[in-house]
């Protein structure tokens, strides 16, 4: 046991001496959270729009004011012709234009039927969709106020309730994603590099001649990274609660326990990579290709897995981050308990056991 | 007076597929002896040494190291040997003191013993006052002397040195060999591979490996007489010329 601790201490010294890497390890998650939280947001806020009002009556003014008053839109321009619309879009000054035809209020009151045209810049299809949806909702809302309830015999009012994330904050989705990404990267890449480094330097051979058991060597090398990961988990959670206002709805203890489990999974992946990689560069490259991209693509964090072709959906099952992402969303955002995530937890445990078992087996083979 | 043997091998063999790296090697090394293991690159020196250190399992034959069987008592062997690899094997980003502490620690030395050893070692290497220097900053010769001292910090029965003086100037090599003599004087058996023939002459006995077999084994003086050569260089060249394998 004492030998084991001495090894852990030595490993810690390696990390401590390499301040630049330590700095990156500790601050990368913080920077990612800040970037995703404040800069790379796909939420729509204050989108620039223009209004082409050919009617200029009480109704169109009321709708325009309502649109301008919402936090989603910012009317930057009034247009006076259809050519104007084209020109303004081409200059990239606006994301959407609202067009009221002539005699809008008259049509509305006398033929009970009026039209509004929404023209959106669909070079970014998601934003275009979101903007037109928001605008339609505002117009609908106005329509409701016009007629007293029950004046029409058949009306269906849709009532939408956004569960778990009423304000539709992007943070609810990316905080779990960043956690999965950071833990995978820190643990797997750093451990694989650390182990391969010893092989490259020739120190591994000397350690293997010592009475330390290979299994213990491997475990000792991972422990400092486990600690760094705990710091990362803490900093991500603190930032998300206090800076991004994403509350932890579920049990904090369960969330941390699951994160530690996922950390161990990632460490096992790192050990496995170190078995095959011969140089530190190769270890880094393998980690990047086999972890970073799949985690980004197949965890469900950036792209919904349900929309992928079936073969890709099958592949996504092999990505540990997918399961962790589901767990974090369930526990942290939805506030569910262990009964909801036991299946995913079991999958992660099985993956970890298989990875660890296989890498230790491989490690022994190499020695024979 | 017959001294006790600390390494005994009998027809020790290692095959990788159909390539026989070490071919029926039998020899014995006595306690406190400086035993030179000489051969061209690819002759099988390192493979033989790795089997004795427990890094690699023999394909056939028997061997005991410090009285323990290489097949079954691997863990016991590891406790009683020291090893210095071909590659320079200290941690460059740790200080001299930290390296000593680490290697002494993994051999299970107690804290006070580690402190004593560290002081002794620093004094012996004239590195007092430099213990907080990162190993990275040391000249190669210092690093190698330090690596050797660390390899025997736990007073092993045998220390295996795999080409320990590669790339070092002749003066440092002499200093290195005086450390080796000092260790042998304390009863530590030295098992050293080298391809410097002047170093071969420093050994008590030398074995010369050619194509995985030991072709000659005796004291340098006897070998020079037997092969009618004025130096070990001549002995080695006569034997190595018979090699069929080319070096790597």
Note whether A300 and A174 are within 8 A (CB): no
Give pLDDT tens digits for A225-274. Answer: 999 999 999 999 999 999 888 889 999 999 999 999 999 999 999 999 98
What is the DSSP code (8-state) at residue B242? T
Residue A44 has pLDDT above 80, yes or no: no
Q: Which of B57, B85, B89 sits opposite A368 (nearest CB)?
A: B57
Beta bridge partners of B162: B193
How many angstroms separate the CA atoms of A120 and A285, rounded? 42
Beta bridge partners of B69: B64
Note whether A241 and A248 are within 8 A (CB): yes
* Mean local confidence (pLDDT), B149-156: 94
- The per-residue pLDDT for B248 is 47
Beta bridge partners of B82: B159
What is the DSSP code (8-state) at residue B136? G
Asked if A211 and B78 come within 8 Å (Cβ–Cβ), the reply is yes
How many angstroms separate the CA atoms of A193 and A284, rounded? 7
Give the CA distances from residue A64 to residues A58, A82, A97, A113, in Å, rounded to whole numbers and listed in that order. 10, 18, 11, 18
Q: Name the token pair of A120.
A: 């959106």
Asked if A210 and B78 come within 8 Å (Cβ–Cβ), the reply is yes
How many angstroms separate the CA atoms of A147 and A143, rounded? 7
CA–CA min distance A194, chain B (Å)? 12
* Mean local confidence (pLDDT), A184-212: 88
Provide the domain limits for residue B84: 32-46+74-240
**Start-end of H helices in chain A:** 2-17, 19-34, 58-69, 82-90, 104-110, 125-146, 171-184, 190-201, 203-209, 214-242, 252-276, 280-287, 293-298, 310-316, 320-328, 338-367
Q: How many domains does chain B have?
A: 1
- The per-residue pLDDT for B246 is 58
Nearest CA in chain A to B77: A211
Give the CA distances from residue A99 to residues A96, A121, B40, B86, B237, in Å, rounded to whole numbers and listed in that order. 10, 14, 89, 80, 97
CA–CA min distance A209, chain B (Å)? 6
CB–CB contacts below 8 A, A to B: 76
Confidence band for B41, pLDDT divided at 50, 70 and 90: confident
Please indicate, yes or no, if residue B16 is contained in any of the structural domains.
no
Nearest CA in chain B to A213: B75
Please indicate, yes or no, if residue B2 is contained in any of the structural domains.
no
- The per-residue pLDDT for A41 is 65
What are the strands, taking DSSP E only, across B164-228? 189-194, 205-210, 213-218
Give pLDDT tens digits for B187-202. Answer: 999 999 988 888 899 9
Note whether A67 and A40 are within 8 A (CB): no
- The per-residue pLDDT for B114 is 94
Q: Please state the three-class secondary structure of chain B as a single string.
A: CCCCEEEEEEEEEEEECCEEEEEEEEEEEECCCEEEEEECCCCCHHHHHHHHHCCCCCCEEEEEECCEECCCCHHHHHHHEEEECCCCCCCCCCEHHHHHHHHHHHCCCCHHHHHHHHHHHHHHCCCCCCCCCEHHHCCHHHHHHHHHHHHCCCCCCEEEEECCCCCCCHHHHHHHHHHHHHHHHCCCEEEEEECCHHHHHHCCEEEEEECCEEEEEECHHHHHHHCCCCCHHHHHHHHHCCCCCCCC
How many angstroms separate the CA atoms of B134 and B140, rounded? 13
Q: What is the DSSP string of B207-222?
A: EEEETTEEEEEE-HHH
Instruction: Give chain B's largest Cα–Cα span.
Output: 54
Residue A121: alpha-carbon gap to chain centroid: 26
CA–CA min distance A351, chain B (Å)? 30
* Residue B91 contacts A where some CB pair is shorter than 8 Å: yes
Q: Give every CB contact of residue A210 below 8 A, 6+ residues apart in sequence.
A: B78, B83, B103, B106, B107
The terminus-to-terminus CA distance of chain B in angstroms comes to 42
- The per-residue pLDDT for A151 is 61
Q: Select A47-146's CATH number: 3.30.360.10, 3.40.1710.10, 3.40.50.1000, 1.20.120.80.
A: 3.40.1710.10
Please indicate, yes or no, if residue B63 is contained in any of the structural domains.
no
Residues listed for chain B: 248
State the ipTM, two decimals.
0.86
- The per-residue pLDDT for B4 is 86
- The per-residue pLDDT for B1 is 45
How many angstroms separate the CA atoms of B66 and A209, rounded? 14
- The per-residue pLDDT for B62 is 94
Residue A63 has pLDDT above 80, yes or no: yes
Residue B229 has pLDDT above 70, yes or no: yes
Asked if A17 and B85 come within 8 Å (Cβ–Cβ), the reply is no
- The per-residue pLDDT for A148 is 63
Give pLDDT tens digits for B176-185. Answer: 999 999 999 9
| Other beta carbons within 10 Å of A94 | 22
Give pLDDT tens digits for A332-361. Answer: 999 999 999 999 999 999 999 999 888 888
Instruction: Name the residue ranges covered by the structural domains of chain A.
Output: 2-40+169-367, 47-146
* Residue A212 contacts B where some CB pair is shorter than 8 Å: yes
* Residue B237 contacts A where some CB pair is shorter than 8 Å: no
B234: domain CATH number?
3.40.50.300
Helix (H, G, I), strand (E, B) or coil at B64: strand
- The per-residue pLDDT for B65 is 95
Contacts of A202 in chain B (CB under 8 A): 85-89
How many angstroms separate the CA atoms of A88 and A50, rounded? 9
Q: Give every CB contact of residue A124 below 8 A, 6+ residues apart in sequence.
A: none
Residue B231 has pLDDT above 80, yes or no: yes
Kindly state the percentage of chain A with pLDDT values over 90. 43
Q: Which of A6, A209, A367 sits opposite B102 (nearest CB)?
A: A6
Asked if A18 and B93 come within 8 Å (Cβ–Cβ), the reply is yes
| Other beta carbons within 10 Å of B110 | 11
Confidence band for B222, pLDDT divided at 50, 70 and 90: very high
Q: Give every CB contact of residue B128 below 8 A, 6+ residues apart in sequence.
A: B122
| Other beta carbons within 10 Å of B4 | 9
Between A368 and A292, whose confidence is greater? A292
- A105: closest CA among A141, A142, A76? A142
Between B116 and A244, whose confidence is greater? B116
Q: A122-158 b/e with 16+ CB inside 10 Å = b? A: eeeeebbebbeebbeebeeeeeeeeeeeeeeeeeeee
């Amino acid at each position: 046991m004492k030998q084991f601790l001495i090894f852990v201490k030595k490993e810690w010294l390696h990390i401590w001496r390499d301040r630049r890497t330590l700095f990156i390890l500790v601050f990368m998650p913080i920077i990612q959270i800040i970037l995703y939280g404040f800069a790379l947001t796909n939420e729509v806020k204050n989108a620039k729009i223009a209004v082409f009002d050919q009617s200029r009556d009480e109704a169109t003014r009321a709708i325009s004011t309502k649109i301008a008053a919402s936090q989603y839109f910012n009317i930057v321009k009034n247009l006076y012709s259809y050519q104007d619309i084209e020109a303004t879009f081409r200059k990239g000054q606006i994301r959407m234009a609202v067009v009221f035809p002539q005699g809008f209020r008259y049509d509305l009151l006398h033929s009970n039927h009026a039209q509004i045209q929404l023209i959106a810049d669909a070079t970014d299809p998601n934003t275009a969709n979101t903007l037109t949806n928001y605008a339609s909702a505002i117009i609908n809302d106005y329509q409701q106020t016009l007629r007293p309830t029950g004046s029409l015999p058949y009306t269906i009012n849709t009532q939408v309730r956004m569960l778990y994330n009423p304000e539709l904050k992007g943070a609810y989705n990316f905080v779990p994603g960043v956690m999965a990404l950071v833990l995978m990267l820190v643990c797997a890449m750093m451990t694989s590099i650390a182990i391969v480094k010893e092989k490259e330097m020739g120190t591994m051979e000397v350690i293997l001649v010592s009475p330390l058991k290979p299994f213990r060597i491997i475990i000792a090398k991972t422990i400092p990274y486990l600690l760094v990961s705990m710091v990362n988990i803490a900093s991500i959670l603190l930032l998300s609660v206090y800076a991004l206002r994403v509350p932890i709805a579920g049990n904090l203890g369960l969330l941390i326990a699951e994160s530690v489990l996922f950390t161990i999974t990632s460490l096992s992946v790192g050990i496995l990579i170190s078995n095959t990689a011969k140089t530190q560069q190769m270890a880094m490259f393998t980690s990047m290709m086999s972890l970073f991209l799949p985690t980004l693509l197949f965890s469900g964090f950036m792209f919904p897995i349900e929309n992928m072709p079936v073969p890709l959906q099958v592949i996504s099952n092999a990505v540990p981050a997918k399961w962790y992402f589901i767990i974090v969303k369930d526990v942290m955002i939805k506030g569910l308990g262990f009964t909801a995530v036991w299946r995913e937890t079991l999958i992660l445990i099985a993956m970890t056991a298989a990875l660890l078992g296989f890498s230790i087996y491989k490690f022994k083979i190499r020695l024979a | 007076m017959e001294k006790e043997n600390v390494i005994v091998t009998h027809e020790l063999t290692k095959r990788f597929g159909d390539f026989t790296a070490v071919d029926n090697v039998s020899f014995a090394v006595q306690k406190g002896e400086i035993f030179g293991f000489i051969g061209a690159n690819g002759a099988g020196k390192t493979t033989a040494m790795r089997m004795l250190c427990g890094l690699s399992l023999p394909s056939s034959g028997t061997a005991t190291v410090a009285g323990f069987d290489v097949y079954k008592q691997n863990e016991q062997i590891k406790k009683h040997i020291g090893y210095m690899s071909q590659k320079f094997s200290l941690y460059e980003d740790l200080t001299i003191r930290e390296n000593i502490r680490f290697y002494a620690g993994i051999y299970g030395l107690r804290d006070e013993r580690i402190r004593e050893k560290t002081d002794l070692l620093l004094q012996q290497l004239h590195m007092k006052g430099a213990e907080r220097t990162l190993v990275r900053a040391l000249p190669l010769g210092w690093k190698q002397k330090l690596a050797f001292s660390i390899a025997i910090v736990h007073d092993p029965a045998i220390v295996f040195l795999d080409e320990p003086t590669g790339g070092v100037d002749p003066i440092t090599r002499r200093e290195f060999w005086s450390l080796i003599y000092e260790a042998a004087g304390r009863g530590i058996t030295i098992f050293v591979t080298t391809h410097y023939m002047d170093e071969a002459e420093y050994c008590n006995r030398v074995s010369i490996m050619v194509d995985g077999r030991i072709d000659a084994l005796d004291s340098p003086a006897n070998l020079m007489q037997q092969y009618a050569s004025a130096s070990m260089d001549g002995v080695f060249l006569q034997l190595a010329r018979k090699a069929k394998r080319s070096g790597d």
